[in-house]
Amino acid sequence: MERSERRFLTTHAGSLPRPTSLTELLVRRSRGESVDPTAFGVAVREATRRVVALQLAAGVDVGNDGEQGRESFITYVQHRMSGFGGTSNRPVMRDIVHFPTFVSLKAADFSRTMVNLLAAP
């Protein structure tokens, strides 16, 4: 374990941006579409190497995977434990309804575009 008596060591917690190719695989898997496990594993390893290198280059002392292989914290649970499933009819967030321009500007950044959610009945 790395230690320092001169300064606080830094790390990162949470998700970091994923490459588009990995995001597309995660979206396909989320939709229940077939995803080649070998290709998925390679994409996760490459993305993880990239984010760890970026963290270390930025001066982070202890890099981590940036949750590259997880679709999201919430859906990660359903892939790891039984008893989580079904569908949800959660209403669209009001700020997205009130500010649709934001959605159109950021849609390419979202794993699942909110534009599709707004179009849903």
Residue among 109, 20, 14 at smallest CA distance from 60 = 14
Six token digits for residue 83: 């008893």
Q: How far apart are the first and last CA of the chain?
A: 52
User: Helices in 68-113 by DSSP H: which ranges?
Assistant: 73-80, 94-98, 100-106
pLDDT at 72 (0 to 100): 77
pTM: 0.63
How many other CB atoms sit within 10 Å of the CB of residue 55?
Answer: 20
Average pLDDT value for the chain: 81
pLDDT at 6 over 50: yes
Residue among 84, 47, 41 at smallest CA distance from 67 = 47
pLDDT by residue (tens digit) across 60-87? 998 999 999 988 777 777 777 787 767 7
Six token digits for residue 23: 């995001």
